[in-house]
Amino acid sequence: MKHEIKRELRTGSGERPERSRGTVSAADKAKAREVSLRRVGALFTAHRWPLIVVVAIIVASSIVSMASPFLLRAVIDKALPEQNVGLLVWLVAGMVAVAAITSAFGVVQTWISTKVGQQVMHRLRSDVFTHLQRQSIAFFTRTRTGEVQSRITNDIGGMQSVVTSTATSIASNLTTVVATAVAMAALSWRLSLISLVVMPPAVYLTRKVAQMRREITAARQRELADLNVTIEEGLSISGIQLSKTMGTAPALIARFVESSKRLIDLELRSDLAGRWRMASMNVIFAAIPAVIYLSAGLPATSGRMTIGTLVAFTALQSGLFRPLMGLLNVGVSLTSSLALFARIFEYLDLRVEVDDPTTPIDIEPSEVAGRVRLENVTFHYDDAGRPAVDAVSLDIPAGSTLALVGETGSGKSTIAALVARLYDPSSGRVTIDGIDVRQLRLADLASVVGVVSQETYLLHTTVRQNLRYAKPSATDDEIEQAARAAQIHDLISGLPDGYDTMVGSRGYRFSGGEKQRIAIARTLLRNPKVLVLDEATSALDTETERAVQQAFDTLSRGRTTITIAHRLSTVRDADQIVVLDHGRIIESGTHHSLVQDNGRYAALAA
8 Å CB contact between 405 and 579: yes
The answer to whether 35-348 and 370-605 have equal CATH topology is: no
SS3 state of residue 17 = coil
Please say if the pLDDT value at position 513 is more than 60: yes
Confidence of residue 25 (pLDDT cuts 50, 70, 90): very low
Confidence of residue 5 (pLDDT cuts 50, 70, 90): very low
Q: Is 172 exposed, middle or buried (0-12, 13-18, 19+ CB in 10 A)?
A: buried
Q: What does the pLDDT average to over 489-499?
A: 88
Mean pLDDT of the chain: 78
Q: For residue 394, what are the β-bridge partners?
A: 374
Question: Averaging pLDDT over each range in 7-16, 68-77, 282-291, which range is the top one?
Answer: 68-77
Superfamily of domain 370-605: P-loop containing nucleotide triphosphate hydrolases (3.40.50.300)
Confidence of residue 26 (pLDDT cuts 50, 70, 90): very low
Taking the CB of residue 125, how many other CB atoms lie within 10 A of it?
15
Strands of the sheet with 584-589, listed across from one edge? 449-452, 530-534, 560-564, 401-406, 576-581, 584-589
Which stretch of DSSP H or E encloses residue 534? strand 530-534
Q: For residue 561, what are the β-bridge partners?
A: 401, 531
DSSP H helices in 351-428? 412-419
Confidence of residue 19 (pLDDT cuts 50, 70, 90): very low
pLDDT at residue 168, as a whole number? 65
Model confidence over 290-314: pLDDT tens digits? 677 766 666 655 556 677 777 777 7
Please say if the pLDDT value at position 276 is more than 70: no
| pTM of the entire predicted model | 0.69
Please say if the pLDDT value at position 1 is more than 60: no
pLDDT at residue 397, as a whole number? 93
Tell me, what amino acid is at 595?
V
Q: What does the pLDDT average to over 274-301?
A: 65
CATH class for domain 35-348?
mainly alpha
Please say if the pLDDT value at position 75 is more than 70: yes
Q: What does the pLDDT average to over 210-238?
A: 70
Lowest mean pLDDT among 51-60, 156-165, 487-496: 156-165
Question: Averaging pLDDT over each range in 21-30, 228-237, 553-562, which range is the top one?
Answer: 553-562
The most distant pair of C-alpha atoms in the chain lies apart, rounded to whole Å, by: 122
**What is the distance between the alpha carbons of residues 302 and 305, in angstroms, rounded to a whole number?**
6
8 Å CB contact between 16 and 346: no
| Main-chain phi, psi angles of 579, to 5 degrees | -100, 125
Which stretch of DSSP H or E encloses residue 55? helix 48-65
**What is the distance between the alpha carbons of residues 355 and 254, in angstroms, rounded to a whole number?**
42
To the nearest 10°, the Cα dihedral for 590, 592, 595, 596?
-110
pLDDT at residue 60, as a whole number? 86
**What is the distance between the alpha carbons of residues 392 and 426, in angstroms, rounded to a whole number?**
12
474: which residues sit within 8 A by CB, 6+ positions away?
467, 468, 482, 525
Please say if the pLDDT value at position 6 is more than 50: no
* Residue 298, CA distances (Å) to 193, 293, 466 in order: 15, 9, 83
Please say if the pLDDT value at position 17 is more than 60: no
SS3 state of residue 587 = strand
**What is the distance between the alpha carbons of residues 584 and 392, in angstroms, rounded to a whole number?**
6
SS3 state of residue 260 = helix
The alpha carbon dihedral of 437, 442, 444, 449 has a sign of positive
Confidence of residue 328 (pLDDT cuts 50, 70, 90): low
pLDDT at residue 55, as a whole number? 81
Spans of all domains in the chain: 35-348, 370-605
pLDDT at residue 430, as a whole number? 96
